């Protein structure tokens, strides 16, 4: 019996090759897209799950409060982790992670390492980083110990054993390699190339480990098995009352602590992590995958039920000779599953071919192949389920025909069936139009962010990073003068950072409108005298820094407009001359700079001040002429090698560096667009099949109309009008749905576009053009056909 079912199934597939191909191609493409999205979503939701203590690991977060704001930080101060472990027995281990960068040297090879962390020995108790060499218990116990990842060890020592070897940090601090671990998994929310013992920091005078008010590190806690973290959370207010100083309370400077489970860290965009995910993107891609699969299944249901009349006699004869409804249902479901499995084979091939490109678009290695992690078995199960789900309705329709009606030749397509197919076409194009609107809005928002005025110049600005090398800081003015002398260089300045590249935050007290000193957390740019004019920043009150005023180097700051508003002043001029105290520096506000975007446009501009401080300069910004940039870069490099031989020449361009903040949105936009195109293509395949079947069913009517004098445009219009109406209904449904979805997505951006009417107009016109073009292809073929061929049997 099964053999007979298979024979009939393949015979039907072969007899109706065009419809079979449309079904198979549509399902294959839909499945491939769904499989790739499934792997992406599964990867995004797998972050940090490689840790054996996954359910017991928590990050200590801080809400830093001042009278006028609350800052949500993922960092804590250095003493907090050890104090928590000492005070509460349920905290089994703690590890602090401090980010750092060094010029690292071995065997006369120098590399600038920007992915370095100082940490405590218990990091290996908390996280699962398997050791290749060394002892995880003692590896970071002593000062000046370092643990390397496998790739980093090979970079410095090739195939030699790294254990016991020495590396030089910034040419003056030797550290001993005490361990080598496997590379950090890609689905880790933080990564590193080397870990240095935290006990090294105090000898290097990098930090005071007893400073409670300096929030410089991430702190991770390992809680006892089965312990409810809510109980520890309830104890944190009393923990702070015990340890926070009265002096800080008097100043109105306070904070709350929160324990956050590791499973929530990667998706926590409010506090941030070295690498962040987006749960909204996961939801969106999951919905898109369902949409694509739904469209492919709708194609199958539509084309199968549309052809029901052709198989009506077959069903009638089978019933006459004794076939039961269950047998017929099994046969038609079997055919559906066979088509689904054939599509599955093609989709696997497509997925294998497209996976490298998908990894590239996603910006990470989602998977090396679809076989690993058991993906192929999960995908096979999905394919079988699709076959049953897509085939159940056509099977019920085909087995419900009455024998007498069918065998008398009086059977016609039911009105319910026609309405169902029309409804499903409306669903398909509703989804397609939603995706078109979404794609247009995503790309307009990305274009808006790239082209929005940032409040500073960013074109042809080369940034040379020397990572705060003290030797460069000492001679930074002479280096600037030498670089300025190069033909092709317009201006040079030094600063601690550049827009879009992060910055320090300092506790600051500033005289407010009431005359009292208001504590606030100020973003800081340490700069030299040329920074503001080179970046083209506009001074809206007071003045910029000047060499003519000796106190500008030690007793002055320039604030931004947001700071003025935070202090309660009505206009920028009111803030000039007001006093401040910051990190041991006291003085006056001498100027107000127009707000500029030093962070992504996803963030509101925050309070910021600039101050002269050559000791904290980390980078040079070099403005170059547009004539021959490669020659200018080469000249700058040669000059650098002469003046700074100990430091590699590492540069980026400011505009490219700033736009790196939008890499996640860029990748999201590209993936969204490609999947939207796939969805539209699958919809068009289904529409093409339905149009072909509709013209086939009406071939005699078309022949009669032509004989009676109907024109080709008239026939094309008649055949296209029905489908065009369905697309217009879909547009009416899709527009409010897409507005709601994209309005919610745009809320993640502090600076965003308004959704204009033209987006919906363009999406509607595109949908109509796509539908008309698809249907017109079949309509024109039918209109051009010789009516004699369709009427000769009448």
Q: Is 430 a residue whose pLDDT tops 60?
A: yes
Please give the pLDDT value at position 213: 76
pLDDT score, position 703 = 73
Question: 95-118, pLDDT tens digit by residue?
Answer: 999 999 899 998 767 888 989 999
Q: What integer pLDDT is reported at residue 68 of this predicted model? A: 67
364 by Cβ neighbours in 10 Å (0-12 / 13-18 / 19+) ranks as middle
**Per-residue pLDDT tens for 384-402?**
887 787 777 777 776 666 6
The per-residue pLDDT for range 701-738, each reduced to its tens digit, is 777 777 777 777 777 777 778 788 888 999 999 999 99
Least confident of 225-234, 337-346, 589-598: 337-346
Q: Calculate mean pLDDT across residues 464-474.
A: 86
Q: What rounded mean pLDDT belongs to the chain?
A: 86
Q: What is the pLDDT of residue 790?
A: 58
Residue range 510-522: average pLDDT?
88
Position 6 confidence tier, pLDDT thresholds 50, 70, 90: low
Residue 441 has pLDDT above 80, yes or no: yes
pLDDT reported for residue 793: 54
Question: For residues 289 and 597, which has the higher predicted lDDT (pLDDT)?
Answer: 597
Tokens in use for 184? 């950090």
pLDDT at 485: 94
Indicate whether 413 pLDDT > 90. no
**55: which 2 tokens?**
């359910």
- What is the residue whose two structure tokens read 């700079």? 593
Is a pLDDT exceeding 90 seen at residue 73?
A: no
| pLDDT at residue 757 tops 80 | yes
Express each pLDDT in 195-204 by its tens digit.
Answer: 999 999 999 8
Q: Mean per-residue pLDDT for 14-39?
A: 82
Query: What is the C-alpha to C-alpha distance for residues 465 and 122, in angstroms, rounded to an integer?
Result: 33
pLDDT at residue 597 greater than cutoff 60: yes
User: Over pLDDT 90: what percentage of the chain?
Assistant: 46
What whole-number percentage of the chain has pLDDT above 70?
Answer: 88
- DSSP 3-state assignment of 785? coil
Q: Which two tokens stand for residue 227?
A: 């312990």
Q: Tell which residue, 196, 174, 199, 215, has the closest CA to residue 100.
A: 196
* pLDDT (mean) for 588-614: 94
pLDDT of residue 557: 97
Q: What is the pLDDT of residue 239?
A: 93
pLDDT at 273 over 60: no
Better-predicted residue by pLDDT, 245 or 161: 161
- Residue 259 has a pLDDT of 96
| pLDDT value of position 294 | 86
Is the per-residue pLDDT at 312 higher than 70? no
396-401: long-range contacts, CB 8 A cutoff, minimum separation 24: 396/329, 397/305, 397/308, 398/308, 398/311, 398/312, 398/315, 398/328, 398/332, 399/315, 399/325, 399/328, 399/329, 399/332, 401/308, 401/312, 401/315, 401/316
The pLDDT of residue 591: 97
pLDDT class for 234, splitting at 50, 70, 90? very high
**Predicted local confidence at residue 783, as pLDDT:** 67
pLDDT for residue 722: 79
350-364: average pLDDT = 88
Concatenated DSSP letters of 712-754? HHHHHHHHHHHHHHHHHHHHHHHHHHHHHHHHHHHTT-SS---
pLDDT at 255: 83
Distance from the Cα of residue 445 to its chain's centroid:
15
Looking at residue 309, what is its pLDDT? 59
Distant-in-sequence, close-in-space partners of 226: CB < 8 Å, separation ≥ 6 = none
């Amino acid at each position: 019996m099964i053999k007979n079912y298979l024979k009939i199934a393949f015979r039907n597939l072969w007899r109706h090759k065009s419809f079979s191909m449309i079904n198979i191609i549509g399902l294959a493409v839909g499945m491939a897209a769904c499989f790739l999205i499934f792997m992406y979503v599964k990867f995004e939701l797998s972050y940090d799950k490689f840790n054996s203590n996954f359910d017991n690991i928590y990050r200590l977060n801080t809400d830093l409060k001042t009278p006028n704001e609350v800052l949500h930080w993922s960092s804590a101060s250095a003493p907090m982790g050890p104090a928590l472990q000492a005070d509460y027995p349920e905290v089994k281990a703690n590890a602090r992670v401090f980010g750092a960068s060094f010029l690292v040297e071995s065997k006369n090879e120098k590399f600038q390492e920007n992915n370095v962390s100082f940490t405590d020995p218990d990091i290996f108790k908390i996280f699962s980083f398997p050791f290749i060499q060394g002892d995880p218990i003692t590896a970071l116990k002593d000062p000046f110990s370092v643990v390397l990842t496998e790739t980093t060890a090979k970079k410095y020592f090739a195939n030699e054993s790294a254990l016991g070897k020495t590396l030089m940090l910034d040419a003056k601090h030797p550290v001993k390699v005490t361990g080598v671990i496997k590379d950090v998994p890609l689905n880790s929310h933080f990564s590193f190339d080397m870990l240095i013992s935290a006990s090294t920091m105090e000898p290097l005078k990098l930090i005071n480990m007893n400073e409670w008010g300096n929030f410089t590190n991430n702190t991770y806690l390992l809680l006892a098995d089965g312990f409810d973290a809510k109980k520890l959370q309830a104890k944190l207010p009393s923990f702070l009352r015990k340890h926070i100083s009265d002096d800080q309370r008097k100043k109105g400077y306070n904070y709350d602590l929160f324990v956050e489970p590791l499973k929530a860290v990667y998706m926590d965009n409010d506090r941030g992590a070295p690498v962040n995910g987006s749960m909204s993107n996961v939801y969106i891609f999951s919905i898109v995958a369902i949409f694509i699969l739904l469209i492919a299944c709708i194609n199958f249901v539509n084309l199968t039920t549309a052809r029901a009349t052709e198989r009506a006699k077959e069903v009638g004869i089978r019933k006459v000779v004794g076939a039961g409804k269950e047998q017929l249902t099994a046969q038609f479901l079997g055919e559906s599953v066979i088509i689904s499995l054939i599509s599955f084979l093609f989709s696997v091939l497509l997925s294998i071919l497209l996976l490298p490109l998908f990894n590239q678009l996603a910006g990470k290695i989602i998977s090396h192949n679809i076989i690993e992690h058991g993906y192929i078995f999960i995908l096979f199960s999905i394919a079988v389920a699709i076959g049953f789900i897509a085939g159940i309705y056509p099977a019920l329709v085909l087995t419900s025909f009455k024998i007498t009606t069918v065998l008398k030749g009086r059977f016609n397509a039911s009105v319910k069936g026609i309405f169902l197919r029309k409804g499903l076409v409306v669903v398909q194009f509703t989804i397609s139009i939603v995706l078109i609107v979404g794609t247009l809005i995503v790309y307009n928002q990305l274009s808006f962010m790239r082209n929005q005025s940032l409040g500073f110049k960013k074109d042809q600005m080369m940034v040379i990073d020397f990572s705060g090398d003290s030797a460069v800081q000492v001679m930074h003015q002479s280096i600037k003068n030498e670089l300025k002398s190069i033909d092709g260089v317009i201006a040079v300045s030094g600063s601690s950072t550049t827009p879009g590249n992060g910055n320090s935050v300092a506790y600051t007290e500033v005289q407010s409108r009431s005359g009292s000193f208001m504590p606030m957390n100020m973003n800081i740019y340490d700069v030299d005298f040329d920074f503001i004019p080179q970046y083209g920043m506009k001074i809206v009150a007071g003045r910029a820094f000047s060499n003519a005023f000796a106190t500008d180097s030690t007793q002055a700051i320039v604030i931004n407009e947001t700071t003025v508003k935070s202090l309660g002043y009505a206009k920028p001029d009111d803030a000039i001359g007001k006093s401040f105290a910051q990190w041991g520096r006291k003085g006056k506000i001498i100027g107000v700079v127009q707000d500029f975007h030093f962070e992504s446009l996803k963030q509101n501009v925050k309070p910021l001040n600039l101050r002269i401080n050559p000791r904290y300069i980390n980078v040079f910004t070099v403005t170059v002429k547009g004539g021959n940039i490669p020659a200018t870069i080469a000249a700058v490099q040669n000059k650098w090698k002469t003046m700074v031989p100990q430091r590699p020449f590492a540069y980026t361009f400011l505009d490219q560096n700033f736009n790196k903040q939008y890499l996640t949105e860029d990748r999201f936009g590209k993936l969204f667009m490609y999947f939207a195109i796939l969805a539209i293509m699958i919809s068009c395949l289904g529409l093409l099949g339905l149009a072909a079947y509709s013209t086939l069913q009406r071939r005699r009517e078309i022949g009669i109309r032509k004989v009676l004098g109907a024109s080709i445009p008239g026939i094309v219009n008649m055949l296209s009008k029905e489908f065009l109406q369905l697309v217009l209904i879909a547009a009416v449904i899709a527009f409010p749905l897409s507005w709601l979805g994209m309005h919610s997505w745009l809320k993640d951006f502090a600076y965003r576009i308004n959704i204009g009417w033209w987006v919906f107009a363009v999406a509607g016109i595109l949908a109509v053009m796509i539908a008309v073009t698809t249907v017109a292809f079949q309509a024109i073929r039918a209109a051009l056909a010789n009516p004699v061929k369709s009427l000769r049997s009448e």
